[in-house]
Chains A and B, each alone.
Chain A
């Protein structure tokens, strides 16, 4: 039997989340104010939207903390969430394109990016499958359904196209199967299969090749595809040890596109220097550490996998985004969790944190009855 303690949630995780969230708000304002007053005649435009997202996300966490039952273990909930995600992803494809991509659902002025939700629902779904088939993990048949669903989900994300989220989702799912105890041999098959598909996909659109080429030699065309990569590195490098101080970035003055979303880490690097970039990394490491602690202390095996999956997802996304910002990978559209502007992303990440905190509220009650 397990005990639910409403105030027993993991305080360090919550605190790290709040710090990152507040820091994110400051940085979103700093990096977007000039662009926002230029485009919307309102410097607080993005700040206010992000604040709304943070409010909704925190309310969601609060609500989760007061639910006694682990709803995320409920198969109906998981299947419901999964079907909702897939439907929304499919809906995206009939939505009007925004900047040549169809990543958003527009609904009466509300905008939502379902690929953010996809990460959570796939994690929960895979955990559920691993739990159900925990005694048949040696059989390939156990993986047919989860693999098919994952493939479908990633395919829909690719079609949008949202190359970054697709890679991230793929990584997270693989990691989850790995932690869940799937035989190593299966990964080999999966690896060969997916790299083949990936290569095929890559050569379908020239801009993807351009991005890869731009990554490999960014200076070949400094004003074209390599522009973002160069400007991002310039921003980070310009910051030095302590940065040019907050609000003083010059790279955000349209030199660096997406300064408040995908490249917010570059502005952190420019304004706060190495101190800022390392502190940000430290906060993510704290989230990883607390997440894994929660996973270890989780009352059930099932929650354990969920906690580990969600934690890895946040941390991996952070590393992936930062790698791109630092020019270690080709530019893809990925937000930095809790820091980048983007309400869908923010709410979904806070939802994940909420589940993690909920797991931390539950403890094995051993033989003591309440």
Chain B
């Protein structure tokens, strides 16, 4: 029944089928290749194009003053970024950015960098970071494609200018750049979290998953007292205005514990809106700047003399000529002072007398004492980039080094080192390392106390004697301007000639005026150092720095409600100091 044509059709259908099945076979092989052999690779590529692991920024820790006032805190703020939608023209990108221009107050520099990144084909572009929530809401209302929001943290300094150099700044990525923010960055910053984001091809996020919660930064409590800091800054600013000086710094501490209650610098700036040339004002001169101390350093010379019994208390020194010849030059007093007892040499700050005392002490003893006070070494305060100053080893001393050092030259120190020295005297001869952080609050509620270190520098006897001498400086010597009604003040003035590089020697026109002191003498609550650089007009430490000490100290004493001196407080003092010595 089969005719030849039917047979032909059958044969040809079979031939066709044969080719179709070869084709089918190729397809099956291809499927196996793609879905089995290359599966892992393709899966990874797909994940790569639609998965994104992003960091969740932890909230940075808060910085408090000692009584819980906030110095620095982080608050969530939206940041706006642009995910370039694919296949959109440059013009359409530009149109969108232009719409945001006014709303976000974008400068032409900002715009230029955004356009440059668009042209480069970057898929992620910050438009503006950390904007006001209301501004972000208005941008959201525009509903522009590709414009997205991310929550970041913005650092706020509720006190503005207060303790600016001390606290320091963070950069846009919330990383500490200076001050406490830098030094304690690891504690403050916390740990980043991770989140998984799934995106479609238009770069729209459609699913979030938190892989790891961020760990918020730890809060830090400073030893700084906001009110004391305010007083110090206010009075320093007043003094700087009055004296037309270049800059000034003040440190206030509690001598027994080494806790810094205030650290002020002038000129200063607002942390919330740092000026363009912020680097000029953000240096914390209290610990960064080194200077020749001049007469304040006589405290050290006197310590060495007393400790080594190089002089007797009632021994007299001839200062009648008002000048003394040392190898290569002549050293002058600011006036002729006649015959002075050892204490009066210090009280009237006679260079002539002190150099004779220095000669009696001898190189080695003076060197040992300077070293014991910690000059030429960092005090170890927990702030970044502390300077250690310059103090040459004894083998590098010249013929006049002994004399120069006796009166505070040939050495450069920081204000904090000077403060540490006066605190040692106030503290009956024991030095306490200065510190600025009181506690770090751990998330579990435990508080990590920063340990305090003590070291004896001079004997209690030496310290007592020295205190009396320094009290006399204020009562009847160069520091009378530092007297405070009702309180006994001990202190030392300093007026150092500055080294003028243009003439290659110490200038008698430019000075660094300083005053260090503590109050009350019987039970020191405050140790304060005041440094004022290049005051115009009056330049003596006693005229320029001592009044600042007085203003600051009297206000703080009132604030701390320290009772005026009487027999009762005296007893308490002795008891406390004894117990501390026992440690």
Interface residues of A (CB under 8 A from B): 34, 134, 175, 178-181, 223, 233-241, 250-251, 253-255, 269, 273-274, 277-278, 281, 285, 288, 292, 295-296, 301, 304-305, 308, 312, 315-316, 319, 322-323, 326-328
20 residue pairs bridging A and B, Cβ less than 8 Å apart: A34-B200, A237-B42, A239-B35, A240-B35, A253-B206, A254-B200, A254-B202, A255-B49, A255-B201, A269-B35, A274-B32, A274-B35, A277-B35, A285-B24, A288-B20, A295-B13, A301-B6, A308-B9, A323-B27, A327-B30
* Complex interface bits, B395-417 against A, C-beta within 8 A gives 1, otherwise 0: 00000000000000000000000
Contact partners of B16 in chain A: CB under 8 A:
175, 178-179, 312
Distance (whole angstroms) from the CB of B393 to the closest CB of chain A: 67
The reply to whether B38 and A316 form a contact with Cβ atoms under 8 Å apart is no
Distance (whole angstroms) from the CB of B40 to the closest CB of chain A: 8
The reply to whether B39 and A240 form a contact with Cβ atoms under 8 Å apart is yes
The reply to whether B5 and A301 form a contact with Cβ atoms under 8 Å apart is yes
A179 and B12 in contact (CB under 8 A), knowing A238-B42, A315-B20?
yes
Distance (whole angstroms) from the CB of A340 to the closest CB of chain B: 17
Distance (whole angstroms) from the CB of B157 to the closest CB of chain A: 44
Contact partners of B206 in chain A: CB under 8 A:
253
Identify B35's interface contact among A223, A273, A292, A323, CB under 8 A. A273
Distance (whole angstroms) from the CB of A184 to the closest CB of chain B: 10
The reply to whether B45 and A234 form a contact with Cβ atoms under 8 Å apart is yes
The reply to whether B200 and A255 form a contact with Cβ atoms under 8 Å apart is yes
User: Does B17 belong to the interface (CB within 8 Å)?
Assistant: yes
Distance (whole angstroms) from the CB of A370 to the closest CB of chain B: 21
Contact partners of B41 in chain A: CB under 8 A:
237
The reply to whether A238 and B46 form a contact with Cβ atoms under 8 Å apart is yes
The reply to whether A328 and B39 form a contact with Cβ atoms under 8 Å apart is no
CA distance A82 to B30 in the complex (A): 38
CA distance A322 to B28 in the complex (A): 10
The reply to whether A326 and B46 form a contact with Cβ atoms under 8 Å apart is no
* Complex interface bits, B114-125 against A, C-beta within 8 A gives 1, otherwise 0: 000000000000
The reply to whether A253 and B13 form a contact with Cβ atoms under 8 Å apart is no
The reply to whether A254 and B13 form a contact with Cβ atoms under 8 Å apart is no
The reply to whether A236 and B49 form a contact with Cβ atoms under 8 Å apart is no
The reply to whether B42 and A234 form a contact with Cβ atoms under 8 Å apart is yes
List the 10 closest A-B pairs by CB distance, nearest first: A237-B42, A253-B200, A254-B201, A255-B201, A240-B39, A238-B46, A274-B35, A237-B34, A326-B30, A236-B34
* Complex interface bits, B22-34 against A, C-beta within 8 A gives 1, otherwise 0: 0110111011101
The reply to whether B36 and A319 form a contact with Cβ atoms under 8 Å apart is no
The reply to whether A316 and B20 form a contact with Cβ atoms under 8 Å apart is yes
Distance (whole angstroms) from the CB of A133 to the closest CB of chain B: 12
Distance (whole angstroms) from the CB of A72 to the closest CB of chain B: 18
Residue among B28, B39, B49 with the highest chain A CB neighbour number at 10 A? B39
Contact partners of B202 in chain A: CB under 8 A:
254
CA distance A294 to B9 in the complex (A): 14
Distance (whole angstroms) from the CB of B362 to the closest CB of chain A: 82
CA distance A322 to B24 in the complex (A): 10
Find residues 69-100 in chain B having any chain A CB closer than 8 Å to their own CB. Answer: 86
User: Does B558 belong to the interface (CB within 8 Å)?
Assistant: no
18 further contact pairs, Cβ within 8 A, besides A238-B43, A250-B200, A312-B20: A34-B200, A178-B15, A178-B16, A179-B12, A233-B42, A234-B46, A238-B45, A239-B39, A255-B200, A269-B35, A274-B36, A281-B28, A285-B24, A292-B17, A304-B6, A319-B20, A323-B27, A326-B31
Residue among A250, A296, A301 with the highest chain B CB neighbour number at 10 A? A250
A237 and B9 in contact (CB under 8 A), knowing A250-B198, A253-B50?
no
Contact partners of B39 in chain A: CB under 8 A:
237-241
Distance (whole angstroms) from the CB of B389 to the closest CB of chain A: 61
When C-beta atoms are compared, the residue in chain A nearest to B199 turns out to be A253
The reply to whether B30 and A255 form a contact with Cβ atoms under 8 Å apart is no
Contact partners of A234 in chain B: CB under 8 A:
42, 45-46, 49
A181 and B12 in contact (CB under 8 A), knowing A134-B5, A322-B27, A323-B27?
yes
A236 and B45 in contact (CB under 8 A), knowing A250-B198, A292-B13?
no
CA distance A254 to B36 in the complex (A): 25
The reply to whether A223 and B20 form a contact with Cβ atoms under 8 Å apart is no
User: Does B8 belong to the interface (CB within 8 Å)?
Assistant: yes
When C-beta atoms are compared, the residue in chain B nearest to A253 turns out to be B200
Find residues 254-305 in chain B having any chain A CB closer than 8 Å to their own CB. Answer: none
Contact partners of B198 in chain A: CB under 8 A:
250
Distance (whole angstroms) from the CB of B108 to the closest CB of chain A: 31
Find residues 184-205 in chain B having any chain A CB closer than 8 Å to their own CB. Answer: 198-202
CA distance A35 to B28 in the complex (A): 30
Contact partners of B49 in chain A: CB under 8 A:
234, 255
Contact partners of A312 in chain B: CB under 8 A:
16, 20
Contact partners of B43 in chain A: CB under 8 A:
237-238, 240
Distance (whole angstroms) from the CB of A279 to the closest CB of chain B: 11
Distance (whole angstroms) from the CB of A23 to the closest CB of chain B: 17
Distance (whole angstroms) from the CB of B153 to the closest CB of chain A: 31
Distance (whole angstroms) from the CB of B7 to the closest CB of chain A: 10
Distance (whole angstroms) from the CB of B200 to the closest CB of chain A: 3
Contact partners of A292 in chain B: CB under 8 A:
13, 17
CA distance A8 to B16 in the complex (A): 28
The reply to whether B86 and A305 form a contact with Cβ atoms under 8 Å apart is no
Distance (whole angstroms) from the CB of A251 to the closest CB of chain B: 7
When C-beta atoms are compared, the residue in chain A nearest to B45 turns out to be A234
Contact partners of A304 in chain B: CB under 8 A:
6, 9
The reply to whether A250 and B35 form a contact with Cβ atoms under 8 Å apart is no
The reply to whether B24 and A179 form a contact with Cβ atoms under 8 Å apart is no
Identify B24's interface contact among A178, A273, A319, CB under 8 A. A319
Contact partners of A240 in chain B: CB under 8 A:
35-36, 39, 43
CA distance A29 to B385 in the complex (A): 65
The reply to whether B30 and A181 form a contact with Cβ atoms under 8 Å apart is no
CA distance A241 to B35 in the complex (A): 6
Distance (whole angstroms) from the CB of A234 to the closest CB of chain B: 5
CA distance A327 to B23 in the complex (A): 14
Distance (whole angstroms) from the CB of A316 to the closest CB of chain B: 7
A319 and B42 in contact (CB under 8 A), knowing A181-B9, A223-B86?
no
A179 and B200 in contact (CB under 8 A), knowing A237-B39, A319-B23, A322-B27?
no
CA distance A323 to B5 in the complex (A): 33
The reply to whether A301 and B9 form a contact with Cβ atoms under 8 Å apart is yes
A281 and B201 in contact (CB under 8 A), knowing A269-B35, A301-B6?
no
The reply to whether A328 and B35 form a contact with Cβ atoms under 8 Å apart is no
Distance (whole angstroms) from the CB of B327 to the closest CB of chain A: 82
Contact partners of A254 in chain B: CB under 8 A:
200-202
The reply to whether B17 and A236 form a contact with Cβ atoms under 8 Å apart is no
Identify A237's interface contact among B5, B20, B38, CB under 8 A. B38
A181 and B23 in contact (CB under 8 A), knowing A241-B36, A254-B200?
no
Contact partners of B13 in chain A: CB under 8 A:
179, 292, 295, 308
Distance (whole angstroms) from the CB of A33 to the closest CB of chain B: 13
CA distance A241 to B24 in the complex (A): 19
When C-beta atoms are compared, the residue in chain A nearest to B14 turns out to be A292
Contact partners of A178 in chain B: CB under 8 A:
12, 15-16
